[in-house]
Structure 1
Amino acid sequence: MTETTLQTIACARLNALAPDFQARSTNGPVTLSSYRGRWVIFFAHPANFTPVCTSEFIALARASPDFEKLDCALLGLSVDSLYSHIAWIRDIRERLGVNVAFPLVEDPSMAIARAYGMIDDTSESSATVRATYVIDPEGIIRAIVWYPMNVGRSVDELLRLVAALQSAERENAVAPEGWHPGKPLLEHALTGEGDEIALHPGESWYFRERRP
């Protein structure tokens, strides 16, 4: 997909097909469609060589094995150049002892960021961008999470979110507040007249834990 085409796409939305793109990255050329068949955490950060972004990349790199267990790939992006990306990742490895192995995409024209609604079309800066998109194996956006530029994302929450999305889909159920693997999911609310069912104590037609 060309830069011009990307710029004409409406902002990415929940349950919509994620805009495809081809770009250079620290791991070579990348296309989003090449990740089909896997879950993807696609995230943007404001700028390289900044404290909050560095803390996020360190945490994400250290949690990479946990994302792999969920068959979930990590893919980062900022408007910085590929050369800046490479220099920053090398500095993180040499000074802080952490190897960032997942790809970091360059987006100096802001074409990809604009296609995803990460920044305003008239903006000349990406300083407020800290957006995360969870994309399923079919290329559908299943979750969108935004943080302000002065507060870092929770990597633990991203892991929980992917696990919850996967479990809810696999079990045809819904995940309650604070759900973690091993905890019960919830049944969908009953909606039809023929859906009457015997309720256990502490349950309601709209609030029932999934039972073994």
Structure 2
Amino acid sequence: MNTTALRLGDIAPDFTQISTIGPISLYQWMGSDWCVLFSHPKDFTPVCTTELGELSRLKPEFDRRHCKVLGLSVDSLQDHKYWMKDIEATQKCSLNFPLLADADQKVSKEYGMVHPNANTALTVRTVFVIDPKKRIRLTISYPPSTGRNFKEILRAIDSLQITDSNKVATPVNWEFGDRCIILPSVSDEEASELFPEGWDEQCPYLRYVKQPEV
């Protein structure tokens, strides 16, 4: 069991666990793609059911970003298969990504998804965004009662992918297509080469620029 909390920049632990599509070894399954690994407190619960339906609808957006989606619950594979029928009936869509059956809590404990002060029998709603180098780039933890906003997770992935390949950051409430901010470490001379169309300088350290091409 991992007793140290995983932090941004850490290497995501590899694992092999059974899932609704068969055994998954994380690194092999990811290949050179990004990954969103997220946990659910329990099968047959209302908030989780709505989340899995919404994520199934949004999966093409994750695919477009070369990001694989991997769910986890500490219930059995048999329970997952019964639950999938409920998801299809209530959410009007089929589960189109794998769901780990982490009944032995091997993965959830390694990733710190079980918070003893919350409930040792449940995982919290944890999200890990893992990049192709297998580094953890974003973490979010919600209490079991609060559903996630997967559009926000897509927004964060867009920001990560744009800022990884360009010397920019994304400002408050940024959405894809909005202006970005030139990094303070970039001199005006270098910025002139990188952004020949110019920028909007609010002050020396706040320089807005058109979003670079992805």
TM-score band w.r.t. shorter chain:
0.7 to 0.9
Aligned to 2:195: none
1:128-147 alignment, distance < 5 Å = 129-147=124-142
- In 2, Cα distance between the equivalents of 1:201 and 1:139? 36
- 2:204 maps to which residue? 205
Cα gap change, 1:181 to 1:152, in 2 (>3 Å) = same
Give the strand-richer structure, 1 or 2. Answer: 2
Once the two structures are TM-superposed, the CA of residue 12 in structure 1 deviates from its matched residue by 1.8
Query: Residue 32 of structure 1: which of 26, 35, 38 is its match?
Result: 26
Quote the Cα distance in structure 1 between the aligned partners of 2:200 and 2:157: 31
Name the SS for the 1:157 alignment partner.
Answer: helix
Q: 2:143 aligns with which of 132, 138, 148?
A: 148
What amino acid is aligned across from residue 21 of structure 1 in structure 2?
F
Counterpart of 2:165 in structure 1 is: 170
Ranges in structure 1 where 5+ consecutive residues have no aligned partner: 1-6
Q: Which residue of 2 aligns with 1:4?
A: none
Q: 1:18–1:140: 8 Å Cα contact kept in structure 2? A: yes
Number of residue-to-residue matches in the alignment = 202
Which runs of 5 or more residues in structure 2 are unaligned? 193-197
CA distance, structure 2, for counterparts of residue 25 and residue 79 of structure 1 = 11
Question: What is the correspondence of 1:9-88 to structure 2 with a 5 Å cutoff?
Answer: 10-34=4-28, 35-88=30-83
Runs of 4+ in 1 over 3 A off after TM superposition: 120-124, 195-202
Per-residue deviation, 1:202: 4.9
Tell me the alpha carbon deviations over residues 96-138 of structure 1, each in whole angstroms, 9 at most, x when there is no partner.
42111100001112121111111147963115x1000000011
In 2, the alpha carbon distance for the partners of 1:140 and 1:151 equals 26
- Alignment-mate amino acid for residue 186 of structure 1: I
CA RMSD of aligned residues (A): 2.2
Report SS of the residue matched to 1:209.
strand
